[in-house]
Amino acid sequence: MTARRIIPCLDVKDGRVVKGVRFEGHVDMGDAAELAARHRDDGADELVFYDITASPQGRTLDYGWVESVARLLDIPFCVAGGIRTVEQAARCLDHGADKVSINSPALERPELIAEMAERLGRQCVVVGVDSRKVGDDWMVHQYTGDPTASRGAGRRTLDWIVEAQGLGAGEIVLNCMDEDGVRRGYDLEQLGAARARLTIPLVASGGAGCMAHFTDVFERADVSGALAASVFHTGTVRIPDLKRELAAAGVEVRP
């Protein structure tokens, strides 16, 4: 098994990092560049940057901003936000990003996943999935960066991740909306069900509140990476301490 990845996520709005609870009530967490540099120095394996209002506003992210982030980092980073064409994705990579994540645009036009994988290589293509329990099933939601625009996508989560994998996604990030910002642990049931249906890497998102939650998600849901935001931004969980605890529990991590 390859080393499990610790991935801070920076939800960016107007150049500032914000964080909400269950995708609502966003509050300012600080400057994006300063937080990125701190996480880099603390030993993050990757970083993810989401321009959370790009898709709801019908625009894509700022390539100059991507380039400025790339100059700061010597670890892989992924960008997301309103990327609707292969050309836009390619420009993100040309400006220094290592991966591109698509979410709502992939739901609008699933063949975008295949087009990106063919031209850019599937290792660069991440599909983000925002999922919430509806009745007895998990359902996909879209435009979640703006509470006024967020809505159900009419797709079952487990069906959509399998379809995305078949189209060429190289990785799935499963954002469990019911646990987002609540800090009571990852949705192990949903993540385990997703892991059983995928052969590509799965990254858990939503719910981390303490170091034990990371151990649980790696051991019980067998994910490839764990993404978190506020616990890292606030210093509630420090990455060096987390990696020591994971290693002590027998979870393989990079130093």
User: Which residues are within 8 A (CB) of 103 and not within 5 positions of it... i.e. 6 or more apart?
Assistant: 55, 80, 127, 128, 129, 130, 142, 144
Catalytic residue numbers, as ranges: 11, 130
Alpha carbon 108 to its chain's center: 19
Task: Please name the amino acid found at residue 187.
Answer: D
Q: How far apart are CA 25 and CA 182, in angstroms?
A: 12
End-to-end CA distance of the chain: 16
Q: How far apart are CA 123 and CA 157, in angstroms?
A: 22
Per the CB < 8 A criterion, the answer to whether 129 and 173 are in contact is yes
Q: How far apart are CA 47 and CA 239, in angstroms?
A: 13
